[in-house]
Copies of this chain bind each other. A is one copy, B any other.
Amino acid sequence: MGSKRKGILERLDAGEVVVGDGGYVMQLERRGYVKAGHWTPEAAVEHPEAVRQLHREFLRAGANVIQTFTFYCSEDKLEISGNVKGITGAQINEAACDMAREVANEGAALVAGGVSQTPCYVKSHSEPEVKAIFKKQMDNFMKKDIDFFIAEFFEHVEEAVWAVEVLKTSSKTIGVTLCISPHGDMDGVPPGECAVRLVKAGADIVGINCHLDPLTCVRTVKLMKAGLDKAGLKAHLMIQPLGFHTPECNLGGYVSLPEFPFALETRAMTRWDVQKYAREAYNVGIRYIGGCCGFEAYHIRAIAEELAAERGFLPPASEKHGLWGAALEMHSKPWVRARACREYWENLLPASGRPKCPSIATPADE
């Protein structure tokens, strides 16, 4: 039971840094349990041991929140995708809640029930229809023991507002993140105004997830904060960016890059990139700091390590990691031993090993 733990708002109100978890669908795709293109979470029922292990890795890496593996788990999405036979959305949502709770309880973590954009929104633009979908998923979660909600991956702030309005009826705390660029949402609503609308709708925590790289997402959250400040509103800030470099920074994010989704390897963040990001996010005032697609356990550990001084402790997985490469001190090659220091890794410009490839691509939607 999570009931005796400090809740998410208690933590954030107290000024604590809350480390989020990493990305599930891309990592489980690589492990063989999720189908790219569909990206639906039936593995929660089909292969619970695989999902449970990934939850544990994030927990061990320092995550304070375990998100239920329920991405795209609305009835309309499952149906359109056509990938999941003989399993209902309710079954997945409920199994995912149980599993998240089980792992969260192995540490002091909280469980966040995850809700995401629906195909119905783009197709129908019908508020009652879209809200009914969110309501149904929320009802699944409310049968289980979750601590708060995260509504995420919205390209249109309007849909996110609808999600918040539905989830608000649960009286749970609500975090909400958009997958938009500094240019604004798909309807051209700038980040600052998006944040204002979400807070007015009842969100407790607002921010950005997915679609663009960490430093770009930090910039967008900064714009959200500026919008809230200007409107005299207050909310906690959260961020769960891509674990990939996307300097092209277009409206559509990494979905528009030629490498999506099967050749993103070259763009992956190193742990040192993540430390730089965690510091930047912290400096901007964001206190809920995690990752989305591309964030593996060691990236989450890098957040926890970068902010260890502020938080006063290291995560369990740091027992297997020397800070700034310290464990290389015992390597047999002298030039590798020389890398056991912060200066080396902070300044390294890693080579791609691909001399016939460019460094920047042309996004499909440019």
Contact = CB atoms under 8 A, between A and B. Distances in A.
A46 to B, nearest CB: 9
Contacts of A61: 32
B320 A35 contact: yes
A325 B35 CA distance: 10
B255 A262 contact: no
Contacts of A122: 332
A65 B351 CA distance: 33
Contacts of A298: 29-32
Contact of A353 (B38, B252, B262, B359): B359
Interface stretch (A134-142, A172-180, A231-239, A265-273): A265-273
A317 B265 contact: no
B331 A37 contact: yes
A297 B360 contact: no
B244 A353 contact: yes
A327 interface: yes
A270 to B, nearest CB: 4
Interface in A308-363: 316-317, 319-322, 325, 327-333, 335-336, 339-340, 345, 348-362
Contacts of A188: none
A312 B266 CA distance: 32
A317 B29 CA distance: 9
Given A265-B350, A353-B266, A322 B37 contact: yes
Contacts of A187: none
Interface in A206-262: 213, 244-248, 252, 255-262
A247 B350 CA distance: 14
A51 B56 CA distance: 13
A351 to B, nearest CB: 4
Interface string A47-70: 001100100110011000000000
Contact of A330 (B38, B301, B345): B38
A198 to B, nearest CB: 23
B353 A247 contact: yes
B33 A320 contact: yes
A271 B355 CA distance: 19
Interface in A30-46: 30-38
A351 B345 contact: no
Contacts of A32: 57, 60-61, 297-298, 301, 316-317, 320-321
Given A81-B330, A352-B267, A34 B245 contact: no
A363 B81 CA distance: 44
Interface string A258-295: 11111111111111100000000000000000000000
A80 B329 CA distance: 13
A354 B31 contact: no
Contacts of A7: none
Contact of A336 (B56, B245, B255): B255
Contacts of A328: 36-37, 261
> Which of A31, A82, A349 is packed against the most chain B CB atoms within 10 Å?
A31
A296 interface: yes
A119 interface: yes
Contacts of A87: none
A132 interface: no
11 contacts: A36-B327, A37-B322, A37-B336, A50-B53, A50-B57, A245-B353, A259-B350, A262-B271, A267-B351, A351-B361, A355-B359
